[in-house]
A = this chain, B = another copy of it.
Amino acid sequence: MANFDLMRRLALEEGGKILLLVMDGLGGLPREAGGPTELEAAHTPNLDRLAREGSVGLSIPVARGIAPGSGPAHLALFGYDPLVYEIGRGVLEATGIGLEVRPGDVAIRGNFCTVDENGLITDRRAGRISTEEGAKRVALLKDIQIPGVQISIEIAKEYRFAMVLHGEGLHGAIADTDPQQTGVAPLPARALEPAAEKTAALVNQWLEEARKRLKGQEPANMCTLRGFAMEPGLPKYRDVYKLKAACVAVYPMYKGVASLVGMDVIETTAHDTTQDQFNKVAQIWDQYDFVFCHIKYTDSRGEDGDFDAKVKVIEGVDAALPTLLDLKPDVLIVTGDHSTPATYRAHSWHPVPTLLWAPATHMPDRAQAFGERECMVGALGQFPATDLMPLALAHARRLQKFGA
């Protein structure tokens, strides 16, 4: 983890500008023995030039051998040890579908389920109804009013939804209401600590009202709640790094994590291309010290197992890169949050190719291109992802000397 005490002590108010470009799931593996990885196969003249000029290395997201989810992987890139700062499931789900989660809020995951005439669960996933059917049920629940709390609720996918409670004195230490078996009734919300009793009572009022409204809506005629979690109260970029920071991402999940560390979230649409995203970075560049730009589709194509399509996404990023280079960032970091090799079709634990380009101070190495094997012999070596932020600040001349 970036040592936050040290960062607070050494970080300067003024300095260079930092651009963090994350290609989700960037790292890959060869498709055939002796062949290139996705990044090695991609034609990337701009990234290769940056790699020749600057420093490359391999970043370890959480720990060797650990394949991270997107939440912990991004926390690590932002300098937060994901083994220390965990974002609760409810908060991840809620931010992931675009619900705002503020300090003091409680976020919750919900499942629609089927109950019989006696209220006993017959299907914990309501026959895996479609997202459309799920959204209809959510609509029935939207205007439930419970005194003392404002409630936001949105469909996630199929039988899953998320909700956020906003109000005074809320607490997230509440046990799941999903009994994890059929033939029994959903459990009432039960406080795990005295401080959560008020919140549990509010939730039970809501559940009783939800039950009435879902009656007759088979197969989704009831719901269970789980993953109760509070906004995690992460130290903020402004306080820790003295950075005014913004996020340009398309997927709500990444906007959510960026928001939790105190970045401004720039408006985007789901249809924004890489070039659109880079244009948005350019538009806001003057107003921020630090911009995080997140490209999703490297990961998506890796999870599809589509090696060639992942190569194409990388090539598209390279082609649009001049828009970012024209901004003349003092520090440009290009990396991934984790690896998603197309041959593996999932997040993996392999260290992630990383490029640090900061013309005033970067240490050139012998890398001739941006790729896994070039990164093995780079100036950055293999390092914990949480070390990236201190490095970025240093190259931006935003850290004082430690000690006299």
List residues of A whose CB falls within 8 A of some B CB: 3, 6, 10, 29-30, 33-34, 53, 58, 62-72, 82-83, 86-87, 89, 92-93, 341, 343-344, 346-351, 361, 363-366, 372-373, 376-379, 381-383, 387, 389-395, 399, 401-404
Task: For A393, list chain B residues within 8 Å (CB).
Answer: 65
**CB of A358, distance to nearest CB on chain B (Å):** 11
Task: For A66, list chain B residues within 8 Å (CB).
Answer: 6, 10, 390, 394, 399, 402
Query: SS class of chain A's interface: helix, strand, loop or mixed?
Result: loop
Task: For A404, list chain B residues within 8 Å (CB).
Answer: 69-71, 89, 92-93
A29's partner among B349, B361, B372 (CB-CB below 8 A) is B361
Cα of A65 to Cα of B30 in the assembled complex, Å: 32
Q: How many copies of this chain does the complex contain?
A: 2
Given A30-B364, A394-B67, also A347-B387 (CB < 8 A): no
Cα of A373 to Cα of B363 in the assembled complex, Å: 9
Cα of A351 to Cα of B372 in the assembled complex, Å: 22
Task: For A344, list chain B residues within 8 Å (CB).
Answer: 361
Q: Can you list the 10 inter-chain pairs with the closest CB atoms, starting with the nearest? A: A65-B390, A69-B403, A65-B394, A381-B382, A72-B403, A64-B387, A69-B404, A65-B391, A349-B394, A67-B401
A379 near B376 with CB under 8 A, answer: yes
A69 near B30 with CB under 8 A, answer: no
Contacts A33-B53, A62-B402 given; 8 further ones with Cβ under 8 A?
A: A3-B63, A30-B364, A66-B402, A69-B403, A71-B404, A72-B403, A349-B399, A365-B376
B64 near A391 with CB under 8 A, answer: yes
17 A/B residue pairs, CB under 8 Å, sorted by A = A10-B66, A29-B361, A34-B364, A64-B387, A65-B390, A65-B392, A65-B393, A67-B399, A69-B401, A69-B402, A71-B403, A343-B361, A348-B394, A350-B361, A350-B363, A366-B373, A366-B376
Chain B residue nearest in CB terms to A66? B402
Q: Which of A3, A30, A366, A376 has its CB near the most chain B CB atoms (within 10 A)?
A: A376
Task: For A366, list chain B residues within 8 Å (CB).
Answer: 373, 376-377
Cα of A395 to Cα of B86 in the assembled complex, Å: 25
Task: For A347, list chain B residues within 8 Å (CB).
Answer: 401
